[in-house]
Chains A and B, each alone.
Chain A
Amino acid sequence: MSVSAVFVLDLKGKVLICRNYKGDVDMSEIDHFFPILMQQEEEGLLNPVLSHGSVYFMWIKHNRTERGTSSYSDCLCVCVYQVFTEYFKELEEESIQDNFVVVYELLDELMDFGFPQTTDSKILQEYITQEGNKLEVAKTKVPTTVTNAVSWRSEGIKYKKNEVFIDVIESINVLPRGIGHLHDVNANGSVMSSDIVGSIKLKTMLSGMPELRLGLNDRVLFALTGRDKGKTVAMEDVKFHQCVRLSRFESDRTISFIPPDGESELMSYRINTHVKPLIWIESVIEKFSHSRVEIMVKAKGQFKKQSVANNVEVRVPVPSDADSPKFKTSTGHAKYVPEKNLVVWTIKSFPGGKEFLMRAHFGLPSVENDELEGKPPITVKFEIPYFTVSGIQVRYMKIIEKSGYQALPWVRYITQSGDYQLRTNT
């Protein structure tokens, strides 16, 4: 279970940087990678794991840089991707070559003999120096954090004002299913598949080694302790940052941890409930072959009147050969984006309970396009502040540090669109 080598390639498949960890793979194997990738792409069989002989490449594409790992032995797949995402937050992809010394240093620390070691970017920053020659001057000791049980926080952090900011962000995914479902499930056309992916993010500005405890209105917790006051939320699945004591949570649902300094995602959760889609879209797209397409889209805010959705974008697909757009909107602004075959209808502020309308008219060429076009869904983007769909609440955040300082937690709630797709009725 280990990685033989890591390569960073540019868009044309040229090797920018490589690191051979085990020496069991010929480094020229990477030459086969790109041709195979291209071939598979052409055949429509593209796949995150490619093979050439006994060498296996796991690759991801990051903006304009391709990255591949070649692995010889039976190897860990999932890990590799995460390493990349982690450290590439650190590096601007254009500057890989400019900073190759640092990149090599990073690659060295990330993995040893193909075994992933430390991937926490904050900690790596502590002892990976930006200029290679600083070594002699400053660093005379390994940050204890690297090998500590608390590997994500250094000692001796100091803030004048101790604060912690908590952001509760819920993304709502909506995948309305085919017409066939609608009458199967619910006569009024409500959505079949919807789930909420929430995440709690921290910005910690606390001195020392504080012990934190987060209280949520978790249904399981309330059932355990016998309290049943107020609304509770049943979380389907919870994932925690490595700082959270998982066994403690497993036994009594207490979320206790020593937080990493600065920004981090403390936890994420998934809730599988049938929620009304916050912004409901009804659409009529009438296509008159050889002449025109007429689109009518109605958007309805199905959330509390006091709340307001910001930056709402409704993206409506149009045929690729459509031309001469004309729009009429009851509010906001509609724009044709020909390169994506979309009409984007933007509404800056969308109060709950309101209903808006957009009409679009496109011409179609008299010669029909032969290519079969798919039926892309309408997608919606929005943000509703001070509000969570699930009703999750931070009930308390206890902060205990041995110096005994007082610290203030600040909480913000926001709901946004995740994978929010609605099928068009044509």
Chain B
Amino acid sequence: MTDSKYFTTNKKGEIFELKAELNNEKKEKRKEAVKKVIAAMTVGKDVSSLFPDVVNCMQTDNLELKKLVYLYLMNYAKSHPLCTDCEDPNPLIRALAVRTMGCIRVDKITEYLCEPLRKCLKDEDPYVRKTAAVCVAKLHDINAQMVEDQGFLDSLRDLIADSNPMVVANAVAALSEISESHPNSNLLDLNPQNINKLLTALNECTEWGQIFILDCLSNYNPKDEREAQSICERVTPRLSHANSAVVLSAVKVLMKFLELLPKDSDYYITLLKKLSPPLVTLLSGEPEVQYVALRNINLIVQKRPEILKQEIKVFFVKYNDPIYVKLEKLDIMIRLASQANIAQVLAELKEYATEVDVDFVRKAVRAIGRCAIKVEQSAERCVSTLLDLIQTKVNYVVQEAIVVIRDIFRKYPNKYESIIATLCENLDSLDEPDARAAMIWIVGEYAERIDNADELLESFLEGFHDESTQVQLTLLTAIVKLFLKKPSETQELVQQVLSLATQDSDNPDLRDRGYIYWRLLSTDPVTAKEVVLSEKPLISEETDLIEPTLLDELICHIGSLASVYHKPPNAFVEGSHGIHRKHLPIQHGSSGPAAPVDQPQVIPSQGDLLGDLLNLDLGPPVNVPQVCSMQMGAVDLLGGGLDSLVSDPIIIMHPTLCGWKNIIYVLLSNSWSGPGLISVDFLLLLAVLNFCVLQVWLPAAKAKGLEISGTFSRRQGHMYMDMSFTNKALQHMTDFAIQFNKNSFGMIPTTPLAVHTPLMPNQSIDISLPLNTIGPVMKMDPLNNLQVAVKNNIDVFYFSCLIPLSIFFVEDGKMERQVFLATWKDIPNENELQYQIKECHLNADTVSGKLQNNNIYTIAKRNVEGQDMLYQSLKLTNGIWILAELRIQPGNPNYTVKNTLNEKVCPNLWPVLYNIIWMQLWMYYS
């Protein structure tokens, strides 16, 4: 027998047995085994070799067993291979261990990794330290609290001062990542000393490290322009780096800090010049890199067009560019188009319009239209280019050209109408809603110059219900325009379209609009003409611009996904509530954020139009259910049928919020459905509103066939009573006269009623009666009640109406600041009333502007704890001053208004008066 017998014993030892038992199928056995292991551990035997087997037993719902396993773990965690590897003499293995540690995403295990990680963070080898730095970010992702408690964040901060640039870079990367989930903590603690360290490391670390550092620098707010400039000086050399990501990150830092530099300084100008070549060079990369670069350049061009204004040629499209690069280039080309380069741009665009890719060709044609609108001098060339393209008869080119020609007509009225004949030739080939709507709009708008406009529009009417909503709405408006221009021969046509729209359509938009037109035309063709054929607001030159605050935010995200998507990160990153929004730095010295002075008004692209119509500028996007309820409300309102509406003396529109919004929306969408709609002047709106409150004061049934409807208005400092007399009797009417009873404001007509010609049956006449307030005063109930007597050759009729108080607001109602202050204090509390305005989404400036149009003046504006306070005054014709305080909380659509009155008004009168004023204010506010 040899010595080998010692090895061939069938007793394999305690450890082996335990191992077998630990892997036993029966739970009881396993529990037993773990107990044995713990026992052995307690008496000091080394059972660490059983580590994997014990850990296996953790998979149990038996609490006792679990506890035992944890007990074991706590004792032997150090012997976990990962932990032992952290002490390995080979730094590669230490780093590998610490890297893997962080990837074990098990909460419980991580606790045992703290100690080794702490050591690795102080390892002598920089490779281990840089890996450990990232590991902290990983651990934070698993258990943030633990990382904070263990002080790892401080260790990371210490690493920023590390001697090795790579370690610094990773520490910065880890801290940036962590701070994204802690929006308010100042983890990175960017102070001038740290910034200096980062800038030093920037020169030495690898390209990726440079990116981390640059991104971190871009979050720093230099305290003054000197500091900003010195950082810029040290960042500028990065623009020559071969790695395009480094270049983009450097561009981001510079774009942000440019905000802080004085615009007239030499350095500012030099820096702008330095930014251009690297951006251009990015375009010689791979197509994917080009795409990313172009998306970023698109932002830069919108923010600072001067940087690339000389470089338009590099955005000319190459034949073999991928389509996504082509489309981006085209967009930037238009943004850079100016009088200086328009000839080149147009020649390019014309070339593109003959290519094969349909999407690209369409965009090129559209771009020609944008050029015409943007560069006035080129409009003529653009139009002739478009005509050439229409001659090609390529279907989609023709349609696209017609869409843009409509915009050109809109921008330059009465200039290019000679081409209408050419456009009409292509009527039959239009099969896309956009193009059909554009053509219909053109026909309607220029109906008086197109001999067969009625035939043309009639041809569209045949398949009315098969058309898209856009075409139906445009057609309705176009025919109404045609009718107003050529009433004699188109009466039948207009009736046809009105009944199609109101009776046969399920679309509430269309029905609303149909009813409005019907009512307009039947009550007062003259006003109808004023409203429908009113002058249209100008359309802006730039389209598709990104909204300035969003643009600023995106500039802060250059080189990241946000800049490619042109959306802020919180718009597409799930669970991003923690991400704080970035802002461009604010130049010190100026009080508020740098206001975008020259920013052109943003016009939504065609696709957004319908959504915006519903909101106008009345507030942030209304959510869909609300829109629906609004529309339903309007339908109910009008649902009673047209006849009852016409004959009953009721207000056309109930002045509820949804009613107002709806009527504004309907009328606006009538005026023109194209870009530029949103910039509707508020005055126009008011005109519409005034029209809308036109009431039937005296119904024909009560006045032997005379119907009087009217409203009050204030124009150029004078008050008017605008009335419409309609003769619904069978005989003519003459000898009109009017008289007012004594009233609260002493209002009397300045001139006698001037109706000189007899009013024939079925005829109506519009009268604007000037008023003043020098007559006898008598308190009425309600206060603004006015009793009127109207006489004609048949009889004398009486009616009463309510005067909107706003017409008594005089133009010189702006109180001196000092006087205001003093008055405000002197007013007794009982004269003070407070109201809440619900659901108003306007900001302080808009409100103030609107009110000023109605002689309610803003005396001062204050910002108290994030709330805007507006102090306002108004004066009535009888010298009564009313002071108001309007409190607007951002984000809270409810306004609080506090009003006071300086006169000792009879106490029981005040609430009455107030209610009326209140009603008035409320209308204007909302």
A and B pair up: yes
Binding site for B on A (CB under 8 A): 1-2, 22-24, 44-49, 51, 53-54, 56, 58, 60, 71-79, 81-82, 85, 108, 112-113, 115-120, 127, 135, 139-142, 146-147, 149, 151, 175, 177-178, 180-181, 184, 192-193, 197, 236-242, 244-247, 249-250, 265, 267-268, 270, 372-377, 419, 421
Does B176 reach chain A (CB closer than 8 Å)? Answer: yes
* Bound complex: CA A236 to CA B286 (Å): 20
Residues of A within 8 A of B354 (CB): 375
- Contact in complex: A175, B324 (CB < 8 Å): no
Q: Would you give the shortest CB distance from B165 to chain A, in whole angstroms? A: 6
Residues of B within 8 A of A47 (CB): 291, 324
Task: State how many residues of chain B have any CB contact under 8 Å with chain A.
Answer: 96
Residues of B within 8 A of A46 (CB): 322-324
Most buried by B among A112, A142, A175, A240: A112
- Contact in complex: B244, A139 (CB < 8 Å): no
Does B588 reach chain A (CB closer than 8 Å)? Answer: no
- Contact in complex: B355, A374 (CB < 8 Å): yes
* Bound complex: CA A159 to CA B322 (Å): 46
Q: Would you give the shortest CB distance from B710 to chain A, in whole angstroms? A: 57
Q: Would you give the shortest CB distance from B224 to chain A, in whole angstroms? A: 23
Nearest opposing residue in chain B for A371, CB measure: B356
Does B512 reach chain A (CB closer than 8 Å)? Answer: no
Does B125 reach chain A (CB closer than 8 Å)? Answer: yes
* Bound complex: CA A98 to CA B286 (Å): 28
- Quick check: which of B556-564, B660-668, B856-864 contacts chain A, the rest being far away? B556-564
Nearest opposing residue in chain B for A152, CB measure: B206
- Contact in complex: A127, B242 (CB < 8 Å): no
19 residue pairs A–B, Cβ–Cβ below 8 Å: A1-B173, A1-B176, A1-B215, A44-B357, A44-B359, A45-B323, A56-B572, A74-B560, A79-B211, A112-B134, A115-B174, A117-B206, A178-B347, A180-B346, A236-B280, A237-B280, A239-B242, A240-B240, A246-B237
Does B170 reach chain A (CB closer than 8 Å)? Answer: yes
* Bound complex: CA A82 to CA B204 (Å): 20
Q: Would you give the shortest CB distance from B595 to chain A, in whole angstroms? A: 28
> Beyond the given A74-B560, A77-B560, could you list 14 further A-B residue pairs with CB under 8 A, ordered by the A residue number?
A1-B560, A46-B322, A49-B564, A72-B574, A76-B211, A78-B293, A79-B208, A113-B135, A113-B137, A119-B206, A177-B316, A180-B347, A238-B240, A265-B242
- Quick check: which of B91-99, B465-473, B517-525 contacts chain A, the rest being far away? B91-99
- Contact in complex: A241, B242 (CB < 8 Å): yes
Contacts known (A44-B359, A242-B206); A78 close to B244, Cβ less than 8 A: yes
Q: Would you give the shortest CB distance from B134 to chain A, in whole angstroms? A: 5
Residues of B within 8 A of A135 (CB): 92
Does B256 reach chain A (CB closer than 8 Å)? Answer: no
Q: Write the B212-236 contact mask toward A (1 if CB under 8 angstroms, else 0).
A: 1001000000000000000000101
Nearest opposing residue in chain B for A244, CB measure: B240
Residues of A within 8 A of B322 (CB): 46
- Contact in complex: B99, A112 (CB < 8 Å): yes
Does B911 reach chain A (CB closer than 8 Å)? Answer: no
Does B138 reach chain A (CB closer than 8 Å)? Answer: yes
Residues of B within 8 A of A77 (CB): 245, 292, 559-561, 564
> Within B262-284, which residues are at the interface with A (CB < 8 Å)?
277-278, 280-281, 284
* Bound complex: CA A241 to CA B126 (Å): 24
Contacts known (A22-B141, A56-B561, A372-B356); A139 close to B92, Cβ less than 8 A: yes
Q: Is the interface of B mostly helix, strand, loop or mixed?
A: helix
Nearest first, the 10 closest Cβ-Cβ pairs linking A and B are A180-B347, A237-B277, A246-B237, A54-B574, A78-B245, A147-B126, A116-B208, A250-B237, A374-B356, A178-B351
- Contact in complex: B559, A76 (CB < 8 Å): yes
* In-complex Cβ contact of B127 among A108, A146, A246, A268 (8 A): A146
Residues of B within 8 A of A184 (CB): 343-344, 347
Residues of A within 8 A of B215 (CB): 1
* In-complex Cβ contact of A141 among B91, B137, B174 (8 A): B91
* Bound complex: CA A72 to CA B89 (Å): 37
Residues of A within 8 A of B560 (CB): 1, 74-77
* Bound complex: CA A333 to CA B427 (Å): 52
Most buried by B among A24, A71, A73, A267: A73
Q: Would you give the shortest CB distance from A208 to chain B, in whole angstroms? A: 20
* Bound complex: CA A129 to CA B278 (Å): 37
Most buried by A among B135, B174, B241: B241
Does B832 reach chain A (CB closer than 8 Å)? Answer: no
Q: Would you give the shortest CB distance from A365 to chain B, in whole angstroms? A: 20
* Bound complex: CA A245 to CA B313 (Å): 31
Residues of A within 8 A of B127 (CB): 142, 146-147
Q: Would you give the shortest CB distance from A126 to chain B, in whole angstroms? A: 11
Residues of B within 8 A of A76 (CB): 211, 245, 559-560
Contacts known (A1-B215, A79-B245, A268-B242); A246 close to B203, Cβ less than 8 A: yes
Residues of B within 8 A of A240 (CB): 240-242
- Contact in complex: A147, B166 (CB < 8 Å): yes
* Bound complex: CA A290 to CA B236 (Å): 61
Does B565 reach chain A (CB closer than 8 Å)? Answer: yes
* Bound complex: CA A44 to CA B360 (Å): 10
Nearest opposing residue in chain B for A235, CB measure: B277
* Bound complex: CA A267 to CA B95 (Å): 34
Contacts known (A139-B90, A142-B95, A242-B243); A147 close to B164, Cβ less than 8 A: yes
Does B350 reach chain A (CB closer than 8 Å)? Answer: yes
* Bound complex: CA A236 to CA B277 (Å): 6
Residues of B within 8 A of A54 (CB): 572-574
* In-complex Cβ contact of A239 among B212, B281, B562 (8 A): B281
* In-complex Cβ contact of B281 among A22, A181, A237, A250 (8 A): A237
Contacts known (A115-B134, A421-B318); A74 close to B562, Cβ less than 8 A: yes
- Contact in complex: A73, B126 (CB < 8 Å): no
Does B727 reach chain A (CB closer than 8 Å)? Answer: no
Q: Write the B306-320 contact mask toward A (1 if CB under 8 angstroms, else 0).
A: 000000010010111
Residues of B within 8 A of A376 (CB): 319
Nearest opposing residue in chain B for A59, CB measure: B288
* In-complex Cβ contact of A175 among B167, B277, B318 (8 A): B318
* Bound complex: CA A171 to CA B30 (Å): 73
- Contact in complex: A242, B242 (CB < 8 Å): yes
Q: Would you give the shortest CB distance from A53 to chain B, in whole angstroms? A: 8
- Contact in complex: A115, B170 (CB < 8 Å): yes
Does B130 reach chain A (CB closer than 8 Å)? Answer: yes
Does B332 reach chain A (CB closer than 8 Å)? Answer: no
> Within B90-142, which residues are at the interface with A (CB < 8 Å)?
90-92, 95, 99, 102-103, 105, 125-127, 130-131, 134-135, 137-138, 141
* Bound complex: CA A192 to CA B247 (Å): 28
* Bound complex: CA A397 to CA B602 (Å): 55
Residues of A within 8 A of B134 (CB): 112-113, 115
Q: Would you give the shortest CB distance from A124 to chain B, in whole angstroms? A: 12
Residues of A within 8 A of B278 (CB): 237, 239
* In-complex Cβ contact of A115 among B207, B212, B562 (8 A): B212
* In-complex Cβ contact of A117 among B208, B240, B350 (8 A): B208
- Contact in complex: B286, A81 (CB < 8 Å): yes
* Bound complex: CA A270 to CA B205 (Å): 26
Residues of A within 8 A of B242 (CB): 239-242, 265, 267-268
Most buried by A among B103, B206, B560: B206
Does B370 reach chain A (CB closer than 8 Å)? Answer: no
- Contact in complex: A23, B347 (CB < 8 Å): no
Residues of B within 8 A of A242 (CB): 206-207, 241-243
* Bound complex: CA A140 to CA B318 (Å): 52
Nearest opposing residue in chain B for A185, CB measure: B344
Does B434 reach chain A (CB closer than 8 Å)? Answer: no
Does B177 reach chain A (CB closer than 8 Å)? Answer: yes
Residues of A within 8 A of B102 (CB): 113
* Bound complex: CA A119 to CA B166 (Å): 13
